[in-house]
Amino acid sequence: MSAGDLVLRTEGLGKSFTLHLQGGVRIPVLDGVALALRAGECVVLSGPSGAGKSTLLRTIYGNYRAESGSILLRHRGAWLDLATAGPRTVLEVRRDTLGYVSQFLRVVPRVSALCIVAEALTARGVGTEEARAGARAMLLQLHVPERLHALPPATFSGGEQQRVNLARGFLGRHPILLLDEPTASLDAANRAVVVGLVRAAKARGVAVLGIVHDADTRDAIADRLFPVTPLQDAA
């Protein structure tokens, strides 16, 4: 994949939530979203809180089910529509092509920070030793001290957990990376590390789509902004 090639494109993407327990209220969030993302660029979603930025990111990842439209993505050299792909295809895309750093780390009891991060590589068949070495280096780069590596992150601070999450996200080396508020709970030094990681990823040709509220970080990584407007306002 060379820089500038289109890697992700949504067409007419729509999403609403129907709350059956609240009398079937339907809440429309996305309608007709047409977004294009190219290799080596970073696009940041902009718009007020509640506009649907996270919903858009989660729908692209398949965490939310797309209601209408398509999510076309380059996977192993071919285009694929994630909106209609079966669960096993989505899992394969997540393993090899589409990475996602959520706002919060979902901690698993008893699993160490190092294992959580290394799993990004072992899931793709990389040997345990190599994966652990990569995980260790990535954690150190994100200033997670070695004494924490063997511990499960349940007792870590919010910022430490988020750095474990980021280490896992960046170690996977997916060609497309989705970032949901990656720097929200980080201090300035760690925000700078994240900026460095995003820039290095872009230089490798990774396409990055993110939500970043911190203006300095956004300005440092974004090539352009993609506005997401609340549907109520647009109507």
Partner 1 sequence: MSPDALLSARGLRLSFGRIDALDGVDAEVFPGEVLAVVGESGSGKTTLLHALSGAMCPDAGAVSYRGPDGAVQDVHRMPAPALRALHRSDWGTVHQDPRQSLRMAVSAGGNVGERLMAQGARHYGDIRAAAIDWLREVEIAADRVDDLPRTFSGGMLQRLQIARTLVTQPRLVFMDEPTGGLDVSVQARLLDLIRGLVARLGVAVVLVTHDIAVARLLARRIVVMRAGRVVETGLTDQVLDDPQHPYTQLLVSSVLHA
Question: Coil, strand or helix: which one is 152?
Answer: coil
CB 211 within 8 A of CB 53: yes
Of the candidates 53, 58, 136, 218, which one interacts with partner 1 according to CB under 8 A? 58
Spatial neighbors of 181 by CB under 8 A, at least 6 apart, are 103, 211, 212, 213
Tell which one of 35, 90, 126, 231 touches partner 1 (CB under 8 A): 90
Rama region for 6: left / alpha / beta (φ>0; ψ in -120 to 50; rest)? beta
Quick note: the x/- pattern for partner 1 over 104-143, rule CB under 8 A, is ----xxxx--------------------------------
Which stretch, 62-70, 161-169, 177-185, 191-199, contacts partner 1 (CB under 8 A)? 62-70
Asked if residue 91 binds partner 1 (CB under 8 A), the reply is yes
Structure tokens at 86: 């079966």
Closest CA to 56 of 233, 177, 178: 178
* Residue of the chain from 38, 63, 214, 220 that contacts partner 1 (CB under 8 A): 63
**Is 174 an interacting residue with respect to partner 1 (CB under 8 A)?**
no
Q: Which secondary-structure segment (H or E) carries 141? A: helix 128-141
Give the strand pairing for 6-19 and 78-81. unpaired
Helices (H) and strands (E) in the chain, counts: 9, 9
Shortest Å distance, C-beta 16 to partner 1:
11
User: Which of residues 64 and 185 has its CB atom nearest to partner 1 in the complex?
Assistant: 64
- Among 2, 26, 49, 65, the residue binding partner 1 under the rule CB under 8 A is 65
**Residue 59: C-alpha distances to residues 17, 47, 53, 65, 214 (Å):** 12, 17, 10, 6, 23
Structure tokens at 142: 């994100």
Distance in Å, CB of 123 to partner 1, minimum: 9
Size of the site for partner 1 (CB under 8 A): 18
| 208 vs 3: CA distance, rounded Å | 12
**Which neighbouring-strand residues pair with 225?**
44
**77 or 87: CB nearest partner 1:** 87
> Per CB under 8 A, does 76 bind partner 1?
no
In the complex with partner 1, the residue whose CB is nearer, 3 or 123, is 123
Q: Report in angstroms how near the CB of residue 110 gets to partner 1 at its nearest.
A: 4
C-beta closer to partner 1: residue 40 or 62: 62
Name the site residues for partner 1 (rule: CB under 8 A). 17-21, 58, 62-65, 87-88, 90-91, 108-111
